[in-house]
Amino acid sequence: MELLTVMGILAILYATFVPAIIAARGSANQYHALQTIRQLGPALNMYVSDHDERYMIPFHGQMDGTVAWFGSRLSTDSKWLPEGGILAPYTGDKIAKDPTHQARAWMGDGSGFGYNWGTLGSAAHVYNDGTSHLDEPASSSELSDPSQMVAFATSAYYFASWFGGDGQAYDYGYIDPPFIWHGAPTIDCRHQGKRRVNIEAQSLESEGLALLQFADGSVRSLRLGEIRNQFFVRQHRD
């Protein structure tokens, strides 16, 4: 009876304290990721100052090519080297990793952060005509409200089964506006929550939080339903 009583007490303590420990660990990981993404804003602003108030292009050549904002590589079979990235001179050659980022290697440096490649780094989502428009990164004057233009966010690419994919999350160094997602968001709401796949609705759902760095330097923690297309709008000049 004494042994059963002790076991019962231990079970109660486990049920009481383990969720609290998990929550505390999640908060610590989120804080670490917040500090990391906050460093990307000043680095990007320094780049803009050095390049005639034009924002950084996301990559040279192909999207999976040799030089990207986060690193460089010799071939598609090579590893990304952070010191060769476009933003590297302003980040100290390496971007710290979000400890909650769990994804297969693909098109990113493993940090778990993605750049607004199609509105800030190019005009791909301005025209939305299937062309990258890499020669048209945004200028500072085209941002009517920098506090409403997202620059970086926690990211991953979920290769959804409704796209013929394997249902796995892949490292993805870019983010897209919601109208591009088609049920598979590239902004990853992984903090304090997990992904849920709704096959019937063909959508990836999460009650967690994404970290978004805006062009004015502010950082916000937002849930999936709070991320708007308006965060990707620029006043493009013809």
State how far the Cα of 124 lies from the Cα of 136, in Å rounded to an integer. Answer: 9
Confidence at 23, pLDDT banded by 50, 70, 90: very low
- pTM for the full predicted model: 0.87
Q: What is the pLDDT of residues 57-106, one digit of tens each?
A: 999 866 566 899 999 988 777 888 888 899 999 998 678 899 999 999 99
CB 176 within 8 A of CB 186: yes
The mean pLDDT of 200-207, rounded to a whole number, is 92
Instruction: Determine which of 15-24, 25-34, 155-164 has the lowest per-residue pLDDT on average.
Output: 15-24
- Looking at residue 11, what is its pLDDT? 60
Greater pLDDT, 47 or 10: 47
Contact 90, 40 (CB under 8 A): no
Q: Amino acid identity of 67?
A: V
Question: In terms of C-beta density within 10 A (0-12 exposed, 13-18 middle, 19 or more buried), how is residue 130 classed?
Answer: exposed
| pLDDT score for 2 | 61
Per the listing, tokens 């999640």 go with 26
- Can you give the pLDDT at residue 30? 72
* pLDDT cut 70: percent of the chain above it: 85
Beta-strand pair 150-154/210-214:
antiparallel
Q: Rounded to 10 degrees, what is the CA torsion of 38, 40, 45, 46?
A: 120
DSSP characters for 154-215?
A: EB-EE--GGGT--S-EEEESEE--HHHHTT--SB---BTS-EEEETTTTEEEESSBEEEEET
Are β-strands 113-116 and 174-175 bridged in parallel, bridged antiparallel, or unpaired?
A: parallel
Structure confidence by residue, pLDDT tens digits, 213-238:
999 999 999 999 999 999 999 986 55
How many CA atoms are closer than 13 Å to the CA of 58, on its beta-carbon side? 30
Q: Label the pairing between strands 59-60 and 67-68.
A: antiparallel
d(CA 124, CA 174): 13
pLDDT tens string 104-144: 999 888 999 999 999 999 999 999 898 889 999 999 999 98
> In angstroms, how far is the first alpha carbon of the chain from the final one?
82
Query: CB-based burial of residue 216 (10 Å sphere; 0-12 exposed, 13-18 middle, 19+ buried)?
Result: middle
Say if strands 203-206 and 195-198 run parallel, antiparallel, or are unpaired.
antiparallel
- What's the pLDDT score for residue 235? 82
pLDDT over 90, % of the chain: 66
pLDDT tens readout for residues 147-182: 999 999 999 999 999 999 999 999 999 999 999 999
Is 50 exceeded by the pLDDT of residue 18?
A: no
Alpha carbons 31 and 213: distance in angstroms, whole number: 14
| Best CA proximity match to 95, nearest among 51, 35, 53 | 35
